[in-house]
Structure 1
Amino acid sequence: MDKFYHFLTLVSIGLYWFLVAGVTLRIVLKRRAVSVSLAWLMIIYIVPVVGVGCYFLFGELNLGRKRAERAREMFGPFQQWFRQLNHCQAHIPDALGGHISKIDDLCNNRMSIPALSGNSLSLQNSTDEILRSIIQDIEKAEHSISMVFYIWHPGGLADSVASALIQASKRGVKVKLLLDSAGSPRFFRSSWYQMMKNSGIEVVQALEVSPWRIFLRRLDLRQHRKIIVIDDAIAYTGSMNLVDPAYFKQNSDVGQWIDIMVRITGPTVNVLSAIHSWDWEVETGQRHLPKLPECQIDPSEQQHPIQVVPSGPGMPENLILQVLALAMHQANHSVKITTPYFVPSNDLLETIKLTAQRGVAVDIIIPHKNDSLMVKWASRAFYGDLLSAGVKIHEFHGGLLHTKSVVIDDHFCLVGTVNMDMRSLWLNFEVTLAVEDQAFTQEMLWLQQQYIDQSYPVNKEQWKSRPIRHRFLERAFFLFNPLL
């Protein structure tokens, strides 16, 4: 019997090391950032068995066979729809400023999405204002409402939005609601889910979490977009989930979540509607491409061009990361960044450092308290390099700053759903807007200054004298950056 157990032990060890060798070879042969590959190798060797399991679950971009095939088949028809926008009056390449012109070239060449003019934008930074504005627009809806959110958390004004949707459906408005399964579990367990379905609303779980799918699809691949489209005439997007902050994560000791949304009218609404249609088809197989926008614009008025930049499986890789890098490389005077989760790839880190080292004033505003302990410490692992490069870091003390924004040279900005981490830039379904609008950007800049006024700057000399245990935690959690 002892010999049998000895033999079984040797076989188990042999199989495990054969598995480790196979995974190591797969990591090395995969074409990705060296820092990501090294981080995975560290995890596998430092955390035996668990590390290999983590790689199988989270190590590769795996959408699932059926969804992946569907996404590949969809790309051609959607690209053809986007390409038609180049021929409408709202695409005016000669009138685009330097920043957005190059981004228009990039997005057009990679996904056929052009920057469109003739829009109006409204920046909303009060969650109460945002939810009440959404309710008012839903109450006026006549034909259709399409929504996609990562989190829908019942309670407070979020319930008023749900009631408005139910009433809209009952009066004949077609309502489609796509919610991430992992982000919205409380919604799917609540009475609102069944009430919406009973009223005729199509409610779909995106990327459903299930034990049966654990090895068939990467579990932390999430639907992270936030989009509302009403009658193909009004759209919202930004950082805010469908939650009332007064009723959301009250026990997490981070304060209320601070968010923004952008309300849009004009041709860009139809582009956001097409992005929602993409997500709907990936999940359901049903195609509902919107009508092309009416592009009648007055050339004598300000054009407010917007470039919609989506990302996610099936779409061109690293598109939002490329837009970020392109925008920062064009900066002449200043770059201001707000992000709740800051765990950049090595490429993005070097872009930020290079921008500061060539004399551009770079400010990064990050929440002091974070709902993710791992992200909190991993973020701080980058502080030393950034401070040495001349970047100013501000830790926000007014709650969990969830706004995702970048303002370049005070007249061009990026706003959307994208965090400065590898999950957002490489993995999730995301969307950001590149906006060339002086008045809107000044509003965004004013808001960022309000955030800075509620922050404490990270002092370089004080940072160097931080406790040894803090340094250890930073480096330890930094190793897990592929999972963050």
Structure 2
Amino acid sequence: MQFTSFHALISSLIFLCYWLIIVATTLRIVFKRRPTTYVIAWMLVIYILPLVGVILYFALGEAHLGQQRVKRAQKMRPTITKFINKLSVFQDIFTDKVSQVSKPIFQLCKHQTGLDGIKGNHIELLSNTDAIFDRLIADINQATSNIEMVFYIWNKGGRADEVEEALIQASKRGVTCRLMLDSAGSRNFIRSNASKKMRDAGITVIEVLKVNLFRFMFRRLDLRQHRKVAIIDNYISYTGSMNIVDPRFFKQNKHVGEWVDVMVRMSGPVTTLMGAIYTSDWELETGDYLALPQITDFAEQPEEKKHIMQLIASGPGYTENMIHQVLLTAIYAAQEQIIFTTPYLVPSDDILHAVCTAAQRGVEVIIIVPKKNDSLMVKWASRAFFSELLEGGVKLYQFNDNLLHTKSVLIDKQLSLVGTVNLDMRSLWLNFEITTVIDDAEFARSLAILLQTYLNNSDIVNIEEWEKRPIWQHVVERLFYFFAPLL
């Protein structure tokens, strides 16, 4: 009888502890004040998968950097503030004279970073894989002092091997080469002989945000370094959607065709700001101080209205929700037309409502997504948004043949946003990302021509035909919709 009572007591205590854990985790999610869909999705996971859901939440639900990185981020802030104050002294590279549609974004950037628009830059939109590799390799071959790179994916094969060889030769002639690669995205390359060969040549290769089960107790496991950046001699820089991969040798087993990307090549004062972002990432990851770029001389005299820019960096340790705020501001500022390209369409509720509202107030809103996608979950989750977008007056296009990986926004044929950000929750709230904000009609024309080629190779989604899809597709879409905030 005593044994039965003891067993009942232990069972009751276990049950009580279980519910206390569930309640405590639920309250933690609610008090984080995240979007409603995010809260509902995680609560479903926790209540459908008891204990397992709690473990998943603490591993994947919060964008915590880990104690070490938080301390490093706090330590860096005074240095970055001092750098920005020093940079702002050079008034001839800054301007607040921007176009009407761009003004709200640049005002937001000024409030968040303390810097006006940066003028006097020279920018080139590169949309052909070979052209991107040609320009990047040529710049590496001409480097005289330093090369810094950070990429989500580095994949061996084809022209990516030429970049590797160019870096090795640069290092041998005395150029300092530093390379940060995301642990998950570049896992195979980091452990390859090619990576060892680069290290042996004197190139510093850092594995960023290392992935293993032990580390989830100290930081979020799926936090990713998603930036794609190259900086040469502190003057030329690149960013955009392309990793160091030759699409002819990358994920061919996924049967989605070749990845279609763009990069922006920049020379001028904006690269100084890019260098500061890289320096912050380096210290955040390694704990080592890397000298900030010099602010003294620019190779060319700044021009009054040439390529006015800002860089928006996001991720833990940076201004929270900055890219999300910029996207919303751009959407609400649009008066005539918005064109998005994104490989992964899982927008926040705020962005979903903003684009539908824009369409309903007479703005032509076009979203181009790939017909084939390398992520099954994202493919079905994104389709759950199609009906609401179409009913809201948004024009949806599906890109044929290859996987459209370009991440861009074009507003009123004047304001361009090009970078690494997807229209999904991971890019908007979690990953380390970077976006260029470009206020320039000439650059916008180049981007508009490229986007038109995408549209020419795309099929429009007709709302009547879309609503006739089989009922099982509705069910699958709604199922994955609940997990959209987690993707």
1:9 Cα deviation from its structure 2 partner: 5.7
Residue equivalent to 1:265? 267
1:8 Cα deviation from its structure 2 partner: 6.3
The partner residue of 2:439 within 436, 440, 453 is 436
Rounded Cα–Cα distance in structure 2 between residues aligned with 1:143 and 1:107: 31
Would the aligned equivalents of 2:120 and 2:306 in 1 still touch at CA under 8 Å? yes
Residue equivalent to 1:43? 45
Residue equivalent to 1:63? 65
Letter in 2 for 1:359: G
Would the aligned equivalents of 1:89 and 1:296 in 2 still touch at CA under 8 Å? no
Q: Secondary structure at the match of 2:63?
A: coil
1:276 Cα deviation from its structure 2 partner: 0.8
Would the aligned equivalents of 2:41 and 2:486 in 1 still touch at CA under 8 Å? no
Note the aligned Cα RMSD (angstroms): 1.9
Q: Secondary structure at the match of 2:189?
A: helix
Q: Does 1:453 align with 2:456?
A: yes
1:193 Cα deviation from its structure 2 partner: 1.4
Matches within 5 A, 1:25-44: 25-44=27-46
Q: Does 1:363 align with 2:366?
A: yes
Rounded Cα–Cα distance in structure 2 between residues aligned with 1:355 and 1:342: 17
1:107 Cα deviation from its structure 2 partner: 1.5
Matches within 5 A, 1:318-333: 318-333=321-336
Would the aligned equivalents of 2:343 and 2:407 in 1 still touch at CA under 8 Å? yes
Would the aligned equivalents of 1:89 and 1:297 in 2 still touch at CA under 8 Å? no
* 1:273-331 Cα deviation digits (max 9, x unpaired): 11111110101122221111535865766421111111111111111111111111111
The percentage of aligned residue pairs carrying the same residue is 48
The partner residue of 2:248 within 225, 243, 246 is 246
Residue equivalent to 1:127? 129
Would the aligned equivalents of 1:197 and 1:203 in 2 still touch at CA under 8 Å? yes
Runs of 5+ consecutive residues of structure 2 not aligned to the other structure: none
Letter in 2 for 1:45: Y
Which deviates further from its counterpart, 86-95 or 314-323? 86-95
Shift in alpha-carbon separation, 1:90–1:51, aligned structure 2, 3 A: farther
Q: Secondary structure at the match of 1:96?
A: coil
Residue equivalent to 2:142? 140
Which deviates further from its counterpart, 443-452 or 401-410? 443-452
Q: Secondary structure at the match of 1:172?
A: coil
Which deviates further from its counterpart, 376-385 or 100-109? 100-109
Rounded Cα–Cα distance in structure 2 between residues aligned with 1:101 and 1:224: 28
Shift in alpha-carbon separation, 1:293–1:359, aligned structure 2, 3 A: farther
Rounded Cα–Cα distance in structure 1 between residues aligned with 2:298 and 2:176: 25
Q: Does 1:283 align with 2:259?
A: no
Would the aligned equivalents of 1:57 and 1:219 in 2 still touch at CA under 8 Å? yes
Rounded Cα–Cα distance in structure 2 between residues aligned with 1:90 and 1:225: 29
Q: Does 1:213 align with 2:215?
A: yes
1:371 Cα deviation from its structure 2 partner: 0.8
Residue equivalent to 2:97? 95
1:146 Cα deviation from its structure 2 partner: 0.3
Q: How many residues align?
A: 484
Residue equivalent to 1:294? 297
Shift in alpha-carbon separation, 1:300–1:470, aligned structure 2, 3 A: closer
Would the aligned equivalents of 1:337 and 1:364 in 2 still touch at CA under 8 Å? yes
Residue equivalent to 1:471? 474
Rounded Cα–Cα distance in structure 2 between residues aligned with 1:29 and 1:41: 13
Rounded Cα–Cα distance in structure 2 between residues aligned with 1:61 and 1:452: 36
Shift in alpha-carbon separation, 1:90–1:184, aligned structure 2, 3 A: farther
Q: Does 1:80 align with 2:82?
A: yes
Residue equivalent to 1:382? 385
Rounded Cα–Cα distance in structure 2 between residues aligned with 1:483 and 1:269: 34
Q: Does 1:18 align with 2:20?
A: yes
1:18 Cα deviation from its structure 2 partner: 2.5
Q: Secondary structure at the match of 1:99?
A: coil
Rounded Cα–Cα distance in structure 1 between residues aligned with 2:151 and 2:160: 12
Letter in 1 for 2:233: D
Would the aligned equivalents of 1:85 and 1:114 in 2 still touch at CA under 8 Å? no
Residue equivalent to 1:107? 109
Residue equivalent to 1:309? 312
Rounded Cα–Cα distance in structure 2 between residues aligned with 1:33 and 1:168: 47
Residue equivalent to 1:183? 185
Q: Secondary structure at the match of 1:67?
A: helix
Rounded Cα–Cα distance in structure 1 between residues aligned with 2:90 and 2:298: 6
Letter in 1 for 2:131: E
Residue equivalent to 1:256? 258
Letter in 1 for 2:187: P
Rounded Cα–Cα distance in structure 1 between residues aligned with 2:301 and 2:175: 31
1:196 Cα deviation from its structure 2 partner: 1.1
Q: Secondary structure at the match of 2:86?
A: helix
Letter in 1 for 2:62: E
Would the aligned equivalents of 2:96 and 2:116 in 1 still touch at CA under 8 Å? no
Rounded Cα–Cα distance in structure 2 between residues aligned with 1:293 and 1:156: 39
Would the aligned equivalents of 2:95 and 2:119 in 1 still touch at CA under 8 Å? no
Rounded Cα–Cα distance in structure 1 between residues aligned with 2:183 and 2:12: 42
1:156 Cα deviation from its structure 2 partner: 1.0
Letter in 1 for 2:98: L
Would the aligned equivalents of 1:85 and 1:91 in 2 still touch at CA under 8 Å? no
User: TM-score scaled by structure 2?
Assistant: 0.95
* 1:83-111 Cα deviation digits (max 9, x unpaired): 33333244443432223333222112112
Q: Secondary structure at the match of 1:420?
A: coil
Rounded Cα–Cα distance in structure 2 between residues aligned with 1:125 and 1:102: 28
1:411 Cα deviation from its structure 2 partner: 1.5
1:184 Cα deviation from its structure 2 partner: 0.5
Q: Secondary structure at the match of 1:192?
A: helix
Letter in 2 for 1:252: K
* 1:148-180 Cα deviation digits (max 9, x unpaired): 001111111111101110111011000000111
Which deviates further from its counterpart, 399-408 or 455-464? 455-464
Q: Does 1:153 align with 2:140?
A: no
1:217 Cα deviation from its structure 2 partner: 0.7
Q: Does 1:399 align with 2:398?
A: no
Residue equivalent to 2:174? 172
Would the aligned equivalents of 1:270 and 1:293 in 2 still touch at CA under 8 Å? no
Q: Secondary structure at the match of 1:214?
A: helix
Rounded Cα–Cα distance in structure 2 between residues aligned with 1:308 and 1:100: 14
Q: Secondary structure at the match of 1:241?
A: coil
Letter in 2 for 1:432: T
1:79 Cα deviation from its structure 2 partner: 2.5
Which deviates further from its counterpart, 208-217 or 330-339? 208-217
